[in-house]
């Protein structure tokens, strides 16, 4: 889960009360919280720690804009939704901390709901994609439809798969951006808001905007935007009557949310997570612990009078950083339509033949019984042992069930191997780029201290990638061993099944289930191959984008219609983009084959493929080792001569590897 913090500037009321600033942004990721007691002359707490630092994925100061928050934290989630993933953004914090302003905004400064939907329309294909909106609020544990007030009170239900649904919730098609803004304005006007002493426009309910992306009229991706009501202290708000009841309901639901965050962030996978204490936590179940890429925007105020609320919010946000979600790409139901139809036909055929076999065995038993009765009547007692047909049929059925169980286990093992194969491919490509950068830097005789620190960080990244590559190789070895062992067991069961087959129908049934197992293996192998091709194509598209940018800069420099100051900046940008393009191409040049590990295990191609190494299978004894043998260095393509820059420009000019989490710390590599 991505967790960011936004600090609200002090308002006129807080300044009138002579509150002072107690939250200070240190950089783009860290905040310093100062306890107001630090400035009080209290000798009993003189040795108490009054300052505490908090680190997050991003931190925004009081002067940050809506566009700053959108571009740095949530813009990339739109790309995930377009690719078929689910994404969630929710605002968390005390009352009056600026949550509604960030999510909804104003006409002059639109919030994330407007900015995100606008970005979504910029990326979708309006001919094949359709956007639908649903807007609801949770007020005093009651769900209401903000787009259709006449719907009354709605219920929250779960289907047989555990997915949370709100039956009766309206869904409105949004053909363009103007319609989206109209829908949001209508919904916001119907939302419950009242004035309190802590906030003149206090939201008295939790609001959830659900954006459904349909592709060819089928569910493709979902985006959830949630504006939570703020926690309240009755002593601060001086609420009475209905406002006091609303505050109690808000605090109760937020307490349930805090308990869920504590359970998920504990790291104990066996710990029970209670989502059922509140309708809010049930709605956020998939966002917090399920299949969604989630961004939590915690809001605090810089005023010293709200220190306790600010401290609690930052603590909860720090715990939420430990929550891990496992988003998976949504697959349309039509993707496996052909295969599902074939499986249905096979199952019908299996049932038909099983019925025919049962009838045959019953007829055989009846004939044996009649023959025995006839022989007894004639005074003839047979001493020749006969095969028990019913017992043979029972053994055949047991062997068939064992074979099907092993087939399901084999499928799961192949899927595990497929996931490891894809991760290994990405690790190896990133590792190749980073090693090439390090090899180029090693040729420099004079390296500044700041540059040396960046190089050490990059070396640490390479070491982590190599450790991960070794772990993936170990996973591959163990998984392939299990697959081969299962294959031998299934072959033995197949032979026993063929030995127990008493009729032509049973023999055909054995052929059918064996073929089904082979088709399943081939299907997973094809998926694995396609996934590897997709990784390569994405890397290629990224390189092509840099190539187009490189060509545009070159054309502008060749034309020469720029001033001298602009020309120097263009030349600098030209050198950086050229290096980016170069280092993005290195992993693509090293790709020799895209045959997946699953495909190599297929009997039809195992022998020819085993004689050559796959591009994603890097032996451990050939791993790059920095500052070691020269023959290992020779395997890396030589890089152009580097030109040194002043140390203060390193942070701003470095972007040689966008896939690296520390790319903004790397020094520039100049190939111009």
What is the DSSP secondary structure assignment for residue 110, as one 8-state letter?
B
Is 578 in contact with 550 (CB distance < 8 Å)?
yes
Q: Dihedral through CA 569, CA 639, CA 593, CA 337, nearest 10?
A: -20
Any known ligand binding at 105?
Answer: no
Going 440 to 442 to 446 to 450, the CA torsion angle's sign is positive
Question: Mapping DSSP to helix (H, G, I), strand (E, B) and coil, where does residue 93 land?
Answer: strand
Half-sphere exposure of 204 (CA within 13 A, CB side): 22
Any known ligand binding at 96?
Answer: yes
How far is it, in rounded angstroms, from Cα 314 to Cα 301?
A: 11
β pairing state of 293-301 and 86-93: parallel
Q: Which residues contact 641 (CB under 8 A, 6 or more apart)?
A: 670, 671
Any known ligand binding at 100?
Answer: yes
Any known ligand binding at 301?
Answer: no
Is 70 in contact with 116 (CB distance < 8 Å)?
yes
Is 584 in contact with 540 (CB distance < 8 Å)?
no
Any known ligand binding at 99?
Answer: yes
Question: Mapping DSSP to helix (H, G, I), strand (E, B) and coil, where does residue 211 land?
Answer: strand
Question: What H or E segment, with its residue span, contains residue 624?
Answer: none
Any known ligand binding at 64?
Answer: no
Is 304 in contact with 22 (CB distance < 8 Å)?
yes
- Token duo for residue 558: 């060749």
How far is it, in rounded angstroms, from Cα 187 to Cα 320?
A: 29
Nearest to 211 by CA among 141, 116, 301: 116
How far is it, in rounded angstroms, from Cα 628 to Cα 12?
A: 64
Nearest to 93 by CA among 250, 282, 325, 279: 250
Phi and psi for 370 in degrees, rounded to 5? -65, -40
How far is it, in rounded angstroms, from Cα 509 to Cα 623?
A: 49
| Torsion region of 141: left, alpha or beta (phi above 0 gives left; psi -120 to 50 gives alpha) | left
Is 239 in contact with 231 (CB distance < 8 Å)?
no
How far is it, in rounded angstroms, from Cα 556 to Cα 493?
A: 70
Is 639 in contact with 440 (CB distance < 8 Å)?
yes
- Token duo for residue 641: 């001569």
Is 635 in contact with 431 (CB distance < 8 Å)?
no
What are the DSSP calls for 282-296, one per residue?
HHTHHHHHSSSEEEE
| Residue in the structure block whose two tokens are 């104990």 | 268
- Token duo for residue 338: 């052909």
Is 192 in contact with 139 (CB distance < 8 Å)?
yes
- Token duo for residue 452: 């040396």
Is 169 in contact with 187 (CB distance < 8 Å)?
no
**Sheet arrangement for strand 51-55:** 23-25, 30-34, 51-55
Residues annotated within the binding site are: 93-100
Q: Which residues are annotated as a binding site for ATP?
A: 93-100
């Amino acid at each position: 889960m991505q967790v960011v913090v936004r600090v609200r500037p002090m308002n006129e009321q807080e300044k009138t009360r002579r509150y002072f600033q107690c939250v200070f942004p240190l950089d783009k990721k860290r905040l310093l919280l100062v306890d107001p007691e630090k400035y009080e002359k209290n000798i009993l707490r003189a040795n108490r720690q009054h300052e505490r630092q908090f680190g997050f994925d991003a931190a925004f100061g009081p002067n940050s804009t809506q566009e700053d928050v959108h571009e740095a934290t949530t813009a990339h989630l739109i790309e995930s939704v377009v690719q078929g993933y689910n994404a969630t953004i929710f605002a968390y914090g005390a009352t009056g901390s600026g949550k509604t302003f960030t999510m909804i905004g104003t006409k002059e400064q639109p919030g994330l709901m407007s900015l995100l939907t606008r970005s979504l329309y910029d990326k979708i294909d309006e001919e094949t994609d359709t956007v639908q909106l649903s807007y609801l609020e949770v007020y005093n544990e009651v769900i209401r439809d903000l787009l259709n007030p006449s719907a009354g009170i709605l219920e929250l239900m779960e289907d047989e798969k555990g997915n949370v649904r709100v039956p009766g919730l309206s869904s409105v098609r949004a053909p363009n951006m103007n319609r989206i803004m109209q829908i949001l304005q209508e919904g916001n006007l119907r939302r419950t808001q009242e004035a309190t002493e802590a906030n003149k426009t206090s939201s008295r309910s939790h609001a959830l905007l659900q954006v459904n992306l349909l592709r060819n009229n089928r569910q493709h991706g979902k985006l959830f935007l949630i504006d939570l009501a703020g926690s309240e202290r009755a002593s601060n708000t001086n609420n009475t009557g209905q406002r006091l009841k609303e505050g109690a309901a808000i605090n109760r639901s937020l307490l349930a949310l805090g308990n869920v965050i504590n359970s998920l962030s504990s790291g104990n996978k066996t710990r029970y997570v209670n989502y059922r204490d509140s309708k809010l936590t049930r709605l956020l179940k998939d966002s917090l612990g399920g299949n969604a890429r989630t961004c939590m925007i915690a809001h605090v105020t810089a005023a010293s009078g709200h220190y306790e609320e600010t401290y609690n919010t930052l603590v909860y946000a720090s715990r939420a950083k430990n929550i891990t979600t496992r988003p998976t790409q949504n697959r349309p139901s039509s993707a496996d339509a052909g295969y599902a139809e074939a499986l249905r036909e096979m199952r019908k055929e299996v049932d038909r033949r099983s019925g025919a076999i049962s009838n045959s065995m019953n007829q055989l038993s009846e004939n044996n019984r009649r023959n025995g009765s006839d022989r007894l009547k004639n005074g003839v007692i047979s001493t020749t042992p006969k095969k028990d047909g019913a017992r043979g049929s029972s053994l055949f059925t047991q062997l068939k069930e064992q074979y099907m169980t092993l087939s399901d286990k084999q499928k799961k093992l192949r899927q595990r191997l497929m996931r490891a194969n894809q991760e290994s491919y990405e690790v190896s490509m990133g590792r190749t780029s980073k090693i090439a950068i390090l090899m180029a830097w090693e040729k420099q005789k004079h390296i500044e201290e700041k540059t040396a620190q960046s190089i050490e960080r990059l070396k640490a990244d390479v070491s982590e990638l190599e450790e991960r590559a070794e772990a993936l190789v170990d996973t591959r070895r163990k998984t392939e061993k299990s697959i081969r062992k299962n294959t031998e067991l299934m072959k033995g069961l197949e032979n026993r099944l063929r030995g127990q087959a008493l009729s032509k129908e049973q023999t055909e049934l054995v052929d059918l289930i064996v073929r089904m197992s082979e088709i399943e293996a081939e299907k997973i192998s094809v998926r694995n191959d396609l996934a590897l091709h997709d990784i390569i194509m994405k890397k290629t598209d990224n390189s092509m984008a840099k190539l187009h940018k490189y060509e545009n800069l070159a054309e502008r420099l060749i034309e020469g219609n720029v001033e001298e100051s602009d020309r120097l900046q263009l030349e600098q940008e030209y050198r950086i983009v050229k290096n980016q393009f170069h280092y993005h191409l290195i992993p693509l040049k090293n790709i020799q084959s895209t045959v997946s590990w699953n495909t190599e295990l297929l009997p039809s191609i195992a022998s020819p493929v085993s004689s050559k190494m796959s591009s994603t299978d890097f032996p451990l004894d050939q791993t790059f080792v920095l500052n070691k043998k020269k023959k290992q260095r020779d395997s890396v393509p030589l890089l152009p001569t580097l030109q040194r820059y002043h140390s203060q420009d390193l942070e701003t000019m470095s972007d040689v590897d966008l896939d690296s989490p520390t790319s903004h710390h790397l020094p520039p590599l100049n190939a111009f």
